[in-house]
Amino acid sequence: MANYDPKSLIADEFIHDGEIRETLAYAEAHKDDLALVDRILEKARPQRTATGCVCAGLTHREASVLLACEDPEKVKKMYEIAEEIKLAFYGNRIVIFAPLYLSNYCVNGCVYCPYHSVNRHIPRKKLTQEEVRAEVIALQDMGHKRLAIESGEDPVNNPIEYILECIRTIYSVHHKNGDIRRVNVNIAATTVENYRKLKEAGIGTYILFQETYHKESYLQLHPTGPKHDYNYHTEAMDRAMAGGIDDVGLGVLFGLERYKYEFAGLIMHAEHLEAVHGVGPHTISVPRLKRADDIDPDQFDNGIDDDTFAKITACIRLAVPYTGIIISTRESETVRSRLLNCGVSQVSGGSRTSVGGYTQTQRPHDTEQFDVSDQRTLDEVVRWLMESGHIPSFCTACYRAGRTGDRFMSLCKSGQILNCCHPNALMTLCEYLVDYASPETRQTGFAVIEKELRRIPNEKVRRVAAENLARIKNDGCRDFRF
């Protein structure tokens, strides 16, 4: 039996089943120890420093105690601190992106995914480079600047060369004032050599969902194909980092296994990346299992309700304060509205989850990966964010200025966000308003920009930002950044 070792590079040692079970037993035994719960909450709270703000984060054990605690007062406090952390490190900005499905050819047998290889009735489709270009133009015409590309795993139909070619195509399209400035990649676990190629192609974050950290379940849920190899999949982020990618995105597909087990595994994974590479995950996604072609979520026993889902999100926020949290359009407007106050920092908008979906007038369902709950247009999502007190941000500056990995984390901690990310968010929002927004959204947006501009503390930055905003509006200039 392997020993628990967060620094090990072997999956069974850094995601250690025995340690998770002990953690869950400890959390169950201490969940009503309110003095302990208070100490953990105090530890999680942001502390002001001379130069900014720091947060201690929580260990997987501490965070698991909070997740198990059901005391209504303490749960309320968790939400309050989650919001405090979010505001301290990310402000009221919410970064926007869209998924782009390249291919649904897949050789894996994932039992929860409609792309599984034995699904014979889903049409298989792979975009040609011409089609990629058309999809990117459609996305640019909506106003998107940041994409997450998605693909099934199929070494013959979607080899790494195909993915790299698609990335080159995406970056090469400049339609009207549009451009895609950051491509994140969500493809199956691969080799260090391929990760290096992705890095060289200029990707932002490499995203790979663990699906479940429970090895036995993992093996049953992925009965066939290369993804069946739990260790290869779980160790993927270490290979990605060895290949030079320093922004990686974790995630669990909630609904497959018991959520407390998954939560402990997820935080342990973050601790492992921190221990080995000196930098935790850039993002954590919290997808929930959805209905899809050939997939009935009721067939899975571990679905979680909206309250539990919100609590998990808040506890992630407390445990890993510098990691962005992503919520997709798998969730409805109502759920997304609630989660915005639990520490979420990125949302997708106007998404289509089918291969070639953005160029169709009607939302196609034939090759969809999951049912999209939030079917609003990007314009509606942008307006909704602003009306609920947030700044929709299309900013991609950090990654383009080389502020990735621990350099991004330092920016977070330095208290410079209001002098850097805040004006960048306003300038990219202004581009969106001028180029793509409806008159109503434009009107709301310009009022938001005017109000938010006053919050930039540094006078010089405030002046330059105001000048740049005027040049975006009046002179057709684009792509300013701090």
- Binding residues for ligand SAM (CB under 6 A): 112-113, 150, 152-153, 186-188, 208-209, 211, 227, 253, 287, 289-290, 292, 295, 330, 369-370
**How far apart are CB 152 and ligand SAM at their closest, in Å?**
5
Query: Is 202 or 226 the residue whose CB approaches ligand SAM more closely?
Result: 226
Q: Is 43 exposed, middle or buried (0-12, 13-18, 19+ CB in 10 A)?
A: middle
Distance CA 347, CA 370 (A): 17
Tell me phi and psi for residue 69, to 5 degrees.
-65, 130
* Residue closer to ligand SAM, measured from CB, 153 or 431: 153
Shortest CB 33 distance to ligand SAM, Å: 35
**Nearest-approach distance from CB 236 to ligand SAM, in angstroms:** 9
364 — phi, psi (to 5°)?
A: -80, 150
- Strand 53-54 relative to strand 47-48, pairing: antiparallel
323 touches 284 (CB < 8 A): yes
Q: CA–CA distance from 174 to each of 143, 179, 432 (Å)?
A: 12, 5, 15
Quick one: tokens of 38?
């208070």
Closest to ligand SAM by CB, 66 or 237: 237
Between 188 and 472, name the residue whose CB sits nearer to ligand SAM: 188
What's the closest the beta carbon of residue 285 comes to ligand SAM, in angstroms? 8
Comparison of 187 and 326: residue with beta carbon closer to ligand SAM: 187
The 3-state DSSP composition of the chain as helix, strand, coil percent (nearest 5) reads 50, 10, 40
Provide φ and ψ at 99, rounded to 5°: -80, 150
Nearest distance from C-beta of residue 295 to ligand SAM, angstroms: 5
* Least Å from the CB of residue 462 to ligand SAM: 41
Closer CB to ligand SAM, 211 or 379, in the complex = 211
CB of 386 to ligand SAM, least distance (A): 28
Q: What element of type H or E holds 393? A: strand 391-393
CB-wise, 295 or 314, nearer to ligand SAM? 295
The 8-class DSSP code of residue 126 comes to B
In whole angstroms, the minimum distance from the beta carbon of 196 to ligand SAM comes to: 19
Q: In whole angstroms, give the CA distance from residue 382 to residue 94.
A: 10
4: which DSSP letter? P
Q: How far is the CB of 465 from ligand SAM (least distance, A)?
A: 37
User: Least separation, in Å, of the C-beta of 49 and ligand SAM?
Assistant: 38
402: alpha, beta or left? (left if phi > 0; alpha if psi -120 to 50):
left
Contact 478, 472 (CB under 8 A): yes
Residues 6+ apart with CB under 8 A from 31: 37, 65, 68, 69, 70
- Find the shortest distance in angstroms from Cβ 194 to ligand SAM: 13
Q: Which is nearer to ligand SAM, 245 or 434 (CB)?
A: 245
d(C-alpha 98, C-alpha 372), whole Å:
12
Q: Using the minimum distance from each CB to ligand SAM, give the nearer residue, 69 or 208.
A: 208
d(CA 104, CA 117): 10
Nearest approach, Cβ of residue 161 and ligand SAM (Å) = 17
Which residues fall within 8 angstroms of residue 25, CB to CB, at 6 or more apart?
none
Q: For residue 443, report the phi and psi dihedrals to the nearest 5 degrees.
A: -65, -50
The three-state secondary structure class of 76 is helix
Enumerate residues 6+ apart whose C-beta is below 8 A from 259: 302, 304, 308, 312
281-297 burial, b if ≥16 CB within 10 A, otherwise e?
bbbbbbbbbbebbebeb
Using the minimum distance from each CB to ligand SAM, give the nearer residue, 151 or 393.
Answer: 151
Nearer to ligand SAM, 208 or 421 (CB): 208
Query: Three-class SS of residue 182?
Result: strand
Q: Pick between residue 57 and residue 99 the one whose CB is nearest to ligand SAM.
A: 99
Angle CA(433)–CA(436)–CA(437) in degrees, nearest 5?
A: 55
